[in-house]
Amino acid sequence: MSEGGTSNGVQGEEESTEMSVYKKEACKVVSFKLVYDKDDLDSENVITFKPEMAHQIFGESESIFGYRSVSITLSYIHNSCRCYLDLETSGKITSDSMKADDIIKSLNPWLPTNFTRSQEDFMDWLGDEQHDKMFGEVIATFEDCAEMTRFLDDSVKPTYKITKNGIEDEAFTDFHTRFETFIVWFIDAANFIDLDDDRWLIYYVYEEFVHPQKKNNL
């Protein structure tokens, strides 16, 4: 009896260890990029960051099951917030009793409408990007005395502009619905606002600077 119990225990531990290989913490495998131009997709200087939470997307455990490795990169164009999803996985689990999570299905409700999985399409969007486009009425402007860490060698100092927006402008609401997809990763119990309610006033802070290499306002 003792030997049988030990054997079952070891087998259980081995199965548990094997299953853990297929379980990934979502906040560790998801990354965001803010992309300014085509060079940023492969640049080490591009702005990247991690989510603070993922339970609304992947459940209370904030985990993704069924793959030996998972990498989810969400690249957003810095001004228009058009989104490119780069999903890489390997070693998908093969089991009659368990199946891998459908990552795209989980992500889809929380990504911008018309996001793309095509890098070629994303490159086309970058080529058409209006870097100096702002929505709304500018109600305040202030300068930052600190230099941008992204361009320390070029002594770039940004200007910030606060704009006030109603929801009458369809182009603005299209933009806002893309931008607000960030909130679910950083605000607990976040919900998208009801843009059919015309009482909303929405404020944005824009960072404006002259790109030292391209000499265009961004």
pLDDT band for position 64 (50/70/90)?
very high
Please tell me the total count of domains within the chain: 2
Whole-number pLDDT of residue 38: 85
Record the pTM: 0.83
Co-location of 6 and 102 in the same domain: yes
Calculate the alpha carbon distances from 134 to 40, 80, 163 in Å: 22, 9, 8
Co-location of 70 and 156 in the same domain: no
Co-location of 6 and 69 in the same domain: yes
For range 107-129, the mean pLDDT: 95
Co-location of 67 and 173 in the same domain: no
Co-location of 106 and 157 in the same domain: no
Does the pLDDT of residue 96 top 50, yes or no?
yes
Q: Which of 23-37, 137-151, 153-167 has the highest mean pLDDT?
A: 23-37
Whole-number pLDDT of residue 1: 40
Co-location of 148 and 62 in the same domain: no
Q: Are 124 and 77 in contact, with CB atoms under 8 Å apart?
A: no
For range 146-152, the mean pLDDT: 66
User: 170 is in which domain, residue-wise?
Assistant: 137-208
Whole-number pLDDT of residue 62: 97
